[in-house]
A and B are shown apart, each in its own frame.
Chain A
Amino acid sequence: MPMSTNQNTDFCIFWQMEMQLMLHISPSIYLAEFSTDGRLLHTNASMYEWLGASPLKSLLNPTFEQLLDMTAPLSNPVYNGFLTIGDAQGTFISLQALVFRKDERLLIVGGMDAKQLADHNTRLSHLNAEISNLQRQLIREKVTLEATYQQLNQVNASLKESNATKDKFLSIMAHDLRSPLTALMGLSEVLMENSDQYSREEMNTFIRLINEAAVKTYRLLDDLLVWSRSQMGKMPFNPGSMKLDQLCHEVIEVLNQTAATKRITFDVKVAEDTLVFADEAMIKTVLRNLVSNAIKFSWSDSVVTIFSEQGPSDAMLTVGLADKGVGMTEEAMTKLWSLSELLSTKGTNNEEGTGLGLLICKEFVEKQGGRIWVDSRQGEGSTFCFTVPMA
């Protein structure tokens, strides 16, 4: 319970010395006495720190002049409220203050409302915690957004690349289709308009040329269809165990007639019990393309060797096809596997190709967990190798 007036008087008399000391040294009590003509008569240390060199100007709100105009009954404060002191251009504080006036003197007694300060401090502390949590939430969302943005960029880059490759591919294919179709149109037009002017022998020549152009177009479209289905993941993939030497002989049998026109023979150095784990249709396509290429680029009367050896790991087998033929330059080797560099080279007997065969080989070899590469010297021949899992 607060003290009564009498108790307060006794209390102040009893503790007079201590009260004087406290008023002088306490950092939470602010005391100043001014004369009404504006002179600072007394102050304690804490108030002095804020009044500085210009005490009157340091009374910011209410000002000294405003305080002089205030009146009140004797012993009552002329002002009871917040008094802001300090440097208007710098730092200042608001004290909970009482201002008394007696004769020609003003007494200012100020201090801090500890309860209010504690309350504000707690509220600010909670506010800071909320802001900190909010900032953390924002950081988390930013990290997520950045990751999403990065993923989108990657997908976008990949789509752009894919689109550019397809554009280039379509452009090349259109060009390659144009040539045999032009031949078909020209030759058939000649036959339509002047068939009665040509001998039977000449007619046969035209018909043979038309057939060659049609076969070339068909092969190109067939290769394109296979490659396209593979790209779209629509090729069935059913790997199983099978004998490699048997596969080689089946492929050679199909192409033997073509090889015979250039008197090319085959030397299959694959052990009878060599088993591979592969999709039969895919590995046959790979072997057929590589054997076909070997025939195409070999000199007449040469030998194409097909061999196999374990490696590069215990579970893999390397299959190779070596020809004695035109070979190729370093630059040509680097362009073999790229869709954007698609090129078709004529063989030693002017055989033509689609340029898609090796790309299909690469797709199918990689689909089965292997890789494909070439070693070649211009004028000496090429050796194509690929790896395939052993059964």
Chain B
Amino acid sequence: MFIPQNTQRFSLMDIDTDRQSGFLNTLLAGERSLASNMVADFIREGVSVDDIYEQLLKSSLYKIGVLWETGRIGVATEHLASAIVQAIMNDLYPTIAATRKQPKTVVLACVENEQHQVGIKMVSDVFELAGWTTHFLGAGLPTDDLVRFMNSVRPQVLALSMALSFNWPTLEKMLQTIRRIFPSLPILVGGQAFGKGGQERLLAFSNVTYLSDLYTLKALLTNPASFINANVH
């Protein structure tokens, strides 16, 4: 496993906590238009997509996860917030999709059975903003289908997301399968599940990079050779 040492923040500006709270409350109230307008305001103010993803969308969804864990909201509210966040990401997507692409390909997917796809979608967008051609396969994809697809597009990198820690055994099984078929393919992993530890379980796999946040990914993408060639156990 490779854990990037250079975790300096690639943030252009900080979003203050009052506005973060305001956005969170808007999501909890299910106000899609209001939430979109708030994000549009941030874009007009020059806040980067990375900062909006990391400091606003991801931060709010993590807080919503905590609210669910502490019994303050139900799963329906969480689903609603997630739907609004994905709608906002699609608002921003035309600009992201128009980025000039280079001949570098990444395949992105959730761990098999994992249904939380917002995080890996954000990772996909950061790749796309860095000029990569992305194949976002979303949630609930069986490993066999993932392998079949990778055989057809031959990506330079695979990125996997895991939000729930009870999916650890599934992730390990997937990594074993993929490593057997693609012995040297760089694999990036991340997601909310890693916040609760367990990263040492990745030590069993070569050329697997754990990403703690989008800024770390952005830093890595400025020098892809740093992780594409990394093979640290």
Residue from the list A124, A126, A139 in contact with B94, Cβ < 8 A: A139
Question: Does the CB pair A125–B79 fall under 8 Å?
Answer: yes
Contacts A121-B76, A132-B87, A133-B136 given; indicate if A143 touches B82 (C-beta within 8 A): no
CB contacts (< 8 Å) of A122 on chain B: these are 79
A147 on the interface (CB 8 Å rule)? yes
A140 on the interface (CB 8 Å rule)? yes
Contacts A128-B86, A132-B87 given; indicate if A140 touches B75 (C-beta within 8 A): no
Question: Does the CB pair A132–B86 fall under 8 Å?
Answer: yes
Complex: chain A residue closest to B116, CB-CB: A129
Which residues of A (129-166) have their CB < 8 Å from a CB of B?
A: 129, 132-133, 135-136, 139-140, 142-144, 147
Contacts A118-B75, A121-B76 given; indicate if A129 touches B86 (C-beta within 8 A): yes
Interface string of B94-112 (1 = CB under 8 A from A): 1001100000000000000
Contacts A121-B75, A121-B76, A128-B83 given; indicate if A133 touches B94 (C-beta within 8 A): no
Question: Does the CB pair A132–B79 fall under 8 Å?
Answer: no
Q: Which of A117, A135, A140 has the most CB of B within 10 A?
A: A140
B93 on the interface (CB 8 Å rule)? yes
Question: Does the CB pair A121–B87 fall under 8 Å?
Answer: no
Q: Which of A129, A133, A140, A144 has the most CB of B within 10 A?
A: A129
Complex: chain B residue closest to A133, CB-CB: B138
Task: Give the interface size bracket for B toward A.
Answer: 20 to 34
Contacts A126-B115, A129-B117 given; indicate if A136 touches B93 (C-beta within 8 A): yes
Cα A220 to Cα B136 with chains together (Å): 62
Q: Which of B76, B87, B90, B97 has the most CB of A within 10 A?
A: B97
Contacts A129-B139, A143-B98 given; indicate if A135 touches B90 (C-beta within 8 A): yes
Residue from the list B76, B86, B97, B138 in contact with A140, Cβ < 8 A: B97
Question: Does the CB pair A139–B138 fall under 8 Å?
Answer: no
Complex: chain B residue closest to A147, CB-CB: B98
CB contacts (< 8 Å) of B86 on chain A: these are 128-129, 132
- Main secondary structure, interface of A, reads helix
Contacts A124-B79, A125-B82 given; indicate if A139 touches B139 (C-beta within 8 A): no
CB contacts (< 8 Å) of B76 on chain A: these are 117, 121
Task: Give the interface size bracket for A toward B.
Answer: 10 to 19
Cα A124 to Cα B89 with chains together (Å): 19
Complex: chain A residue closest to B84, CB-CB: A128
Cα A132 to Cα B138 with chains together (Å): 10
Q: Smallest Cβ distance from B96 to chain A, in angstroms?
A: 9
Interface string of B139-167 (1 = CB under 8 A from A): 11000000000000000000000000000
Complex: chain B residue closest to A146, CB-CB: B98
Cα A239 to Cα B139 with chains together (Å): 60
Question: Does the CB pair A143–B94 fall under 8 Å?
Answer: yes
Question: Does the CB pair A129–B138 fall under 8 Å?
Answer: yes
Cα A121 to Cα B73 with chains together (Å): 14
CB contacts (< 8 Å) of B97 on chain A: these are 139-140, 143-144
Question: Does the CB pair B83–A125 fall under 8 Å?
Answer: yes
Cα A122 to Cα B94 with chains together (Å): 28
Which residues of A (96-128) have their CB < 8 Å from a CB of B?
A: 117-118, 121-122, 124-126, 128
Complex: chain B residue closest to A132, CB-CB: B86
Question: Does the CB pair A139–B90 fall under 8 Å?
Answer: yes
CB contacts (< 8 Å) of B89 on chain A: these are 132, 136
Complex: chain B residue closest to A143, CB-CB: B97
Question: Does the CB pair B90–A136 fall under 8 Å?
Answer: yes
Q: Smallest Cβ distance from B54 to chain A, in angstroms?
A: 20
Cα A77 to Cα B98 with chains together (Å): 62
Residue contacts A-B, CB under 8 angstroms, 20 given? A118-B75, A121-B75, A124-B79, A125-B82, A125-B115, A126-B140, A128-B83, A128-B86, A132-B83, A132-B90, A133-B138, A135-B90, A136-B121, A136-B136, A139-B90, A139-B94, A139-B97, A142-B94, A143-B94, A143-B98
Residues of B within 8 A of A (CB): 75-76, 79, 82-83, 86-87, 89-90, 93-94, 97-98, 115, 117, 121, 136, 138-140
Residues of A within 8 A of B (CB): 117-118, 121-122, 124-126, 128-129, 132-133, 135-136, 139-140, 142-144, 147
Q: Which 10 A-B pairs have the closest CB atoms?
A: A125-B79, A132-B86, A143-B97, A128-B83, A140-B97, A121-B76, A139-B93, A143-B98, A135-B90, A133-B138
